[in-house]
Each structure stands twice: as structure tokens, then as C-alpha cells.
């Protein structure tokens, strides 16, 4: 098992290295003018440079602030609604049509409307992040609550627990990994929305704002590309942290343990 | 009139009644929301920013239904871009996904690259695509392709690698050609997972279509939207959001029909297995 792991890591590194060399060769061959497409190694060096630049880190902080606030509010709204819709078939049926109509509205289409109504500040960004992040959390909560082992609920009932206690002690706990998966999906969506709103609305601080500033003519292109690399790294870090958190938090759950 | 007939008629009436009741229940929250929206907007009386749903509906009809010019200048270019990007992503995603799914070794080589590229929020690439491809349709199609290819690719890889080994061994034992194995055994049994990926990617495609047009365009729904916003025609913004909601919904319905048609054999097969 140990050597298998290292073979995997080795192959992964080889794959990444080959891609990097191909990019480096393509950019050094100057198929596209280097003012537009600087060499891959230059971009990599610049990435290291901006990661220690306090001004850039402030922009990363701006994006992450909107991201965190939006994701928290979305969770606070979606989980209670999901609990109700998941535990009552009637309330679920009553809201399906409303959900079917609201969900397909692409969140970014709301950006112009939100700019008109809320301006270009943090509250506009957060509202859009909330709107886009609600859906995966809501649906995962509904499915999670429905998946609860009826036997567990019956057992709790026999031991004399009331409805609310069962919901809190049995259903919510059982559904928690599902809810967490929803939050994990929404974390990626929230980052997309955070950067989209910055790119389209401008103003304030954020990676998108930083990119806007650096996509103007006269600014060395590698800065823009380094910003994209950082955006990718940010997405990757968020995903990895959420995945590790999933394993840590829910190792007790039969679903996660792998024998559910 | 016999008592039996009366009873059965009563039962039919009860069933119709419960169906009507079910329908009422289904639309109740939506209807409630719309009524509340109407009441609130009438009370607020802010025609610029909070038009009533009735005004929005009327404007939607005016701008997007009875206006062929808007179809040609906005709806058509947008939908074309969306479809080109999405079909290209399907070809690339299913192709690469099949390779990666068939060979664990290839998966090892590609995995870090895929994970990194997948993590880049697609809008962050807008400035890059504009530098490389300009602000025409190609830029938007490339953007859609890049953004939606990952769910298709990963789902295909997952579906292909979890094909029943017995089926693959049978194919090999009968010396069915590799191409036939791929087309007749592997891809069909991966099809349900591939479709799940296509479904996710379609809604992302709508989002990316809009955002690429919001950022830089000379036509399309997103362009219309941003023009309306810049000239403070908020009613048009509302009407266009309605259009995009309907568009997203319609695309999903069409994909659902195609999926139902293509996968009908699959459901039959699952039933006989049970």
C-alpha cells in the first residue's frame, strides 16, 4: 500500500511537471507574443512574489471575507428550511414548484439587479453569494433528513424523546454529513460568485478587483496570470480543507466509515 | 342508478379531488410568494427598483415574447454560444474521462492537473480568455467549455471505471473488438453517470454564458442585461431575469427528455435485474 501511494504521488508529480515543461516550451517558442503570454516560469516566480505582497493579500482577504459571510448566512437559512422540508412531505410538496422556479435563475444574472438595488458594496456581493450557495445546502439537508434510519427514530421515540429532541439528537446528527457535503459544494460556488461579483461590479477589495487593475494595458501580463494561479490555489485549498474536515468530523458516521 | 356505480363514481370524484388538492398544494407556496410580492411592491410603490410582478410579467411579454428583434440580437447568440461550449465540453469531457477512467495509470498522471484546473473559479479566467481570444463568441465558448468540462469529465471517469468487471471480461472473452467494447459495453453502462454530469454542467453553462456576456460582449442576453442596468432600466433587468429562469428550466427539461429516451433501456435493464 505504501509503495502504491508513492507511485501515485510520483506519477502525479511527473504529470504536473510535463504539463509545466510543455507550457514553458510553448511560451518560450513565442507562438503568442510574450507580452500577452509570458513564460510559465515567469508566472510561477511572480506568483511567489505576489503571495508575499501585503496589498495582494489584503485583496485575498477581501474575497475571503465576502465568501465566509455569504456561506455562513446561506447555511443559517438553508439548514432550517431543509429540516422542515425534509421532515414533512406536505411542506415539501407545497414548496416544490416555488423551488423549481427559483433554482434555475442563474445567480450571476442577478448581479445587474443587485447592483441597481444594493449598490456595489459588500452587502451586494454577500447577497448574491447567499442566493447561489443556498441550493446545494438546502437539497442536501432535505435528502439527509429523509435518509435518517427510521429504526433510530423509533428507538428514540420509545425512550420517550419528543419530536424536537428526536429532530435535534437523531435526524440532525444523522443528516450532518449530507449537510456538510452541501456546504462543501457551496463553498466552491461561493468562491465563484465572490470573484464574479468583483469582476463585474468592481470597487472595494478582492482578487477580482486586483485582476481588473492588472488586466489594463501597460501592466505586465504575468501579474494577471499569477492572480489566476492564486485563485486556483485558493479553490484547491478550500476544497482540501473541507475534505479533511469531512473525514475528521464524521468518521463516526456509517456513511463516511464506508459500511452504511 | 346502482349503488355500486354511485360508490365508484364517488371514488373517482375523490381521486380527482385529491389530485386537484395535490396540485393546489404544489403551487401554494409559489402562489403565496407571488401574492405577497405583489402586495409588498404595491405597498412600497417604488416603480423604479421594485416593480410589481404583474408589471414584470407584462414587460417580459413585451420585450422577450412578442419581439422577434430581441430573439435575433440576444436570445439566439446566447443560446448558440451555450450549446457550442457545452457540446465541445461534452466531447472533451467524455473523451478524456474515458481515457482516465479506463487506465488507473493515466488517472494518476492527470489527477493533480485536473484537480488544480477544476479549482480555478472560471470567472477568474475571463481576463485571460479575453487577452487570448478577444471579446467575440470564441472567448465565451472557450469559457463555457473550460467551466463545464469538469463535472462531465469526472463523472465519465467515475462511470467508466465502475463498469461491472464481469461485463468487461465477457466482452474480452468473446473477443469483441476494442471499439465495440467501448461503444457497446463501457459507454452505455457509464451513461447514467455521464448524464448526471451533463445535467450539472448545463446549469453551470447558463451561468458562464451570462457572466461572459456581462463582462464583455456586443450582443446576447448578458449584454442586454448590462445595458439595461447601466441605463437604469430596472424593469428590463427584472424581465430578463425571468427569461433566464425560464431558459434554464427549459434546457433542463429538454435534457431530461433526451436522457429519458437514451436511458430507457437502462431502466428496463435495472428492473429485470431486480
- Residues of chain B numbered 249-268 and touching chain A (CB < 8 Å): 249, 252
**Closest C-alpha among B137, B31, B146, B23 to residue B81:** B137
Alpha helices in chain A (DSSP H): 2-28, 40-50, 54-87, 89-102, 110-118, 122-146, 150-158, 163-166, 172-201, 207-214, 221-249, 254-257
Q: Work out the average pLDDT over B9-37.
A: 78
Output the nine-digit C-alpha cell for A125: 456581493
Whole-number pLDDT of residue B263: 84
CA-based nearest distance A258→chain B, Å = 17
Residue A221, chain B, CB below 8 Å: the answer is: yes
Residue of chain A whose Cα is closest to the Cα of B131: A36
Whether residue B12 has pLDDT greater than 70: no
- B contacts of A94 (beta carbons < 8 Å): 25-26, 28-29
- pLDDT, one tens digit per residue, over B127-156 is 888 888 888 888 999 999 999 999 999 999
CA–CA separation, B188 and B236 (whole Å): 45
Whole-number pLDDT of residue A66: 94
- pLDDT, one tens digit per residue, over B165-204 is 888 888 888 888 888 888 888 888 888 889 989 988 998 8
- pLDDT, one tens digit per residue, over A111-137 is 888 888 888 888 899 999 999 999 999
- Output the average pLDDT for chain A: 86
- pLDDT, one tens digit per residue, over A224-257 is 889 899 999 998 899 889 988 888 888 877 766 6
Whole-number pLDDT of residue A179: 92
Hey, are the CB atoms on B115 and A108 less than 8 Å from each other?
Answer: no
CA–CA separation, B216 and B130 (whole Å): 8
CA–CA separation, A231 and B116 (whole Å): 10
- pLDDT, one tens digit per residue, over A68-112 is 999 999 999 999 999 999 888 888 888 888 888 888 888 888 888
Pairs of residues, one from chain A and one from chain B, whose beta carbons lie less than 8 Å apart: 165
- Residues of chain B numbered 56-75 and touching chain A (CB < 8 Å): none
- B contacts of A227 (beta carbons < 8 Å): 124
Closest CB from B49, B111, B225 relative to A12: B111
CA-based nearest distance B45→chain A, Å = 15
Residue B238, chain A, CB below 8 Å: the answer is: yes
Residue of chain A whose Cα is closest to the Cα of B222: A109
* Residue B40 burial class via C-beta count within 10 angstroms: exposed 0-12, middle 13-18, buried 19 and up: exposed
CA-based nearest distance A236→chain B, Å = 5
- A contacts of B132 (beta carbons < 8 Å): 32, 36-37
Whole-number pLDDT of residue B267: 67
Residue of chain B whose Cα is closest to the Cα of A238: B119
Hey, are the CB atoms on A12 and B248 less than 8 Å from each other?
Answer: no
Q: Give the pLDDT band (50/70/90) at residue A258.
A: low
CA distances from B53 to A42, B58, B135, B167, B198 (A): 53, 9, 35, 55, 33
Q: How many CB atoms lie within 10 A of CB B105?
A: 12
Reported pTM: 0.83
Residue of chain A whose Cα is closest to the Cα of B124: A228
- Residues of chain B numbered 78-97 and touching chain A (CB < 8 Å): none
The residue whose grid cell reads 433510530 is A152
Amino acid at each position: 500500500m505504501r509503495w502504491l501511494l508513492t507511485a501515485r504521488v510520483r506519477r502525479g508529480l511527473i504529470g504536473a511537471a510535463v504539463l509545466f515543461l510543455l507550457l514553458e516550451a510553448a511560451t518560450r517558442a513565442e507562438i503568442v507574443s510574450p507580452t500577452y503570454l509570458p513564460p510559465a516560469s515567469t508566472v510561477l516566480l511572480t506568483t511567489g512574489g505576489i503571495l508575499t505582497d501585503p496589498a495582494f493579500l489584503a485583496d485575498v482577504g477581501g474575497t475571503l471575507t465576502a465568501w465566509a459571510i455569504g456561506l455562513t448566512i446561506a447555511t443559517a437559512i438553508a439548514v432550517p428550511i431543509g429540516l422542515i422540508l425534509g421532515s414533512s412531505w406536505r411542506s415539501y410538496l407545497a414548496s416544490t414548484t416555488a423551488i423549481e422556479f427559483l433554482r434555475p435563475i442563474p445567480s450571476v444574472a442577478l448581479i445587474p439587479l443587485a447592483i441597481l438595488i444594493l449598490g456595489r458594496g459588500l452587502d451586494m456581493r454577500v447577497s448574491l453569494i447567499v442566493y447561489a450557495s443556498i441550493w446545494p445546502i438546502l437539497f442536501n439537508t432535505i435528502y439527509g433528513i429523509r435518509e435518517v434510519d427510521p429504526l433510530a427514530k423509533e428507538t428514540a421515540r420509545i425512550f420517550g424523546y419528543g419530536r424536537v429532541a428526536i429532530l435535534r439528537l437523531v435526524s440532525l446528527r444523522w443528516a450532518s454529513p449530507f449537510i456538510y457535503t452541501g456546504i462543501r459544494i457551496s463553498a466552491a460556488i461561493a468562491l465563484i460568485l465572490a470573484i464574479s461579483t468583483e469582476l463585474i461590479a468592481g470597487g472595494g477589495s478582492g482578487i477580482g478587483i486586483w485582476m481588473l487593475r492588472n488586466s489594463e494595458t501597460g501592466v505586465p501580463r504575468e501579474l494577471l496570470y499569477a492572480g489566476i494561479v492564486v485563485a486556483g490555489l485558493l479553490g484547491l485549498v478550500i476544497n482540501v480543507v473541507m475534505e479533511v474536515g469531512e473525514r475528521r468530523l464524521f468518521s463516526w458516521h456509517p456513511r463516511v466509515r464506508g459500511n452504511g | 342508478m346502482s349503488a355500486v356505480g354511485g360508490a365508484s363514481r364517488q371514488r373517482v370524484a375523490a381521486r380527482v379531488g385529491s389530485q386537484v388538492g395535490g396540485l393546489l398544494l404544489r403551487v401554494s407556496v409559489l402562489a403565496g410568494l407571488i401574492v405577497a410580492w405583489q402586495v409588498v411592491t404595491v405597498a412600497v410603490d417604488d416603480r423604479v427598483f421594485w416593480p410589481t410582478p404583474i408589471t414584470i410579467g407584462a414587460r417580459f411579454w413585451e420585450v422577450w415574447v412578442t419581439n422577434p428583434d430581441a430573439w435575433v440580437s440576444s436570445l439566439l447568440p446566447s443560446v448558440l454560444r451555450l450549446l457550442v461550449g457545452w457540446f465541445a465540453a461534452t466531447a472533451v469531457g467524455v473523451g478524456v474521462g474515458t481515457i482516465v477512467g479506463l487506465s488507473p495509470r493515466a488517472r494518476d498522471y492527470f489527477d493533480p492537473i485536473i484537480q488544480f484546473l477544476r479549482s480555478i473559479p472560471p470567472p477568474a479566467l475571463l481576463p485571460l480568455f479575453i487577452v487570448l481570444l478577444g471579446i467575440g463568441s470564441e472567448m465565451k465558448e472557450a469559457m463555457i467549455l473550460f467551466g463545464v468540462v469538469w463535472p462531465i469529465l469526472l463523472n465519465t471517469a467515475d462511470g467508466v471505471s465502475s463498469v461491472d468487471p464481469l461485463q468487461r471480461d465477457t466482452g474480452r472473452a468473446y473477443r469483441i473488438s476494442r471499439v465495440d467494447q467501448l461503444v457497446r459495453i463501457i459507454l452505455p453502462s457509464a451513461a447514467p453517470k455521464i448524464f448526471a454530469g451533463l445535467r450539472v454542467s448545463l446549469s453551470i453553462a447558463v451561468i458562464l454564458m451570462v457572466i461572459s456576456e456581462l463582462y464583455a460582449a456586443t450582443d446576447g442576453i448578458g449584454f442586454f442585461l448590462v445595458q439595461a442596468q447601466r441605463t437604469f432600466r430596472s424593469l428590463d433587468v427584472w424581465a430578463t431575469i425571468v427569461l433566464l429562469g425560464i431558459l434554464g428550466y427549459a434546457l433542463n427539461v429538454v435534457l431530461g427528455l433526451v436522457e429519458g429516451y437514451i436511458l430507457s433501456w437502462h431502466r428496463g435493464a435495472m428492473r429485470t435485474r431486480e
